[in-house]
C-alpha cells in the first residue's frame, strides 16, 4: 500500500480515530524528511494534538502532503538536471548538489517553514535525525 492509500485512510471519517492516526504514522514511515520521530513531533507542533483531535489530524496530513509534493518537485528537477549533466559528459554529480532524497530537509514553498523544521529536528531529544532519507526503507511491511 502506498502513500496515497494511507492518506485516504487518514481522511476516512468512518474509521476509528486511532486507526486514522496509525495511517498517518504509516504515511510518515514512507516519507519522513527530518526523521520519523522528528517528523511526527513537528507535525504535532504544526497541526496540534493530532492524536486526539480530528481537525489537527487533517492539518497534519495536509502539512505532510504539502512537503511531499514539494519534495517530489525537487526530485523531478534534480533528475532533469542530472540527465542534462550526463548528456554533457558529467557522470558524477557535484558534491555541492546532493539529491533531494539524501538531505534532512523539510520541503516547503515557504523557506521559513523549512528552517523551522530544521530547528525542531535539532532540538535536544531528536538525536541524529537530520540526514535521514525521506524515503528510506528501513521498515518492512
pLDDT at 93: 81
Residue 24's φ and ψ, nearest 5 degrees, are -65, -45
- Tens digits of residue pLDDT in 80-137: 989 998 999 988 887 777 787 766 788 988 889 988 888 888 876 654 444 444 554 4
The CA distances from residue 66 to 46, 73, 110, 132, in Å, are 13, 11, 11, 19
- Tens digits of residue pLDDT in 32-47: 999 899 999 999 999 9
> Which is higher by pLDDT, 55 or 81?
55
DSSP string, 74-91: HHHHHHHHHHHHHHTT--
pLDDT at 126: 54
Whether 30 shows a pLDDT value over 80: the answer reads yes
Domain ranges for the chain: 3-89+101-121
Amino acid at each position: 500500500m502506498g502513500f496515497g492509500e494511507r492518506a485516504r485512510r487518514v481522511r476516512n471519517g468512518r474509521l476509528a480515530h486511532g486507526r486514522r492516526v496509525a495511517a498517518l504514522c504509516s504515511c510518515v514511515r514512507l516519507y519522513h524528511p527530518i526523521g520519523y520521530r522528528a517528523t511526527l513531533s513537528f507535525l504535532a507542533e504544526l497541526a496540534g494534538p493530532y492524536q486526539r483531535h480530528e481537525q489537527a489530524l487533517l492539518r497534519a496530513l495536509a502539512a505532510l502532503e504539502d512537503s511531499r509534493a514539494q519534495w517530489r518537485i525537487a526530485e523531478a528537477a534534480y533528475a532533469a538536471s542530472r540527465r542534462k549533466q550526463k548528456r554533457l559528459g558529467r557522470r558524477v554529480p557535484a558534491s555541492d548538489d546532493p539529491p533531494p532524497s539524501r538531505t534532512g530537509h523539510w520541503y516547503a514553498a515557504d523557506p521559513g517553514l523549512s528552517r523551522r523544521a530544521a530547528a525542531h529536528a535539532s532540538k535536544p531529544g531528536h538525536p541524529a535525525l537530520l540526514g535521514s532519507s525521506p524515503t528510506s526503507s528501513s521498515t518492512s511491511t
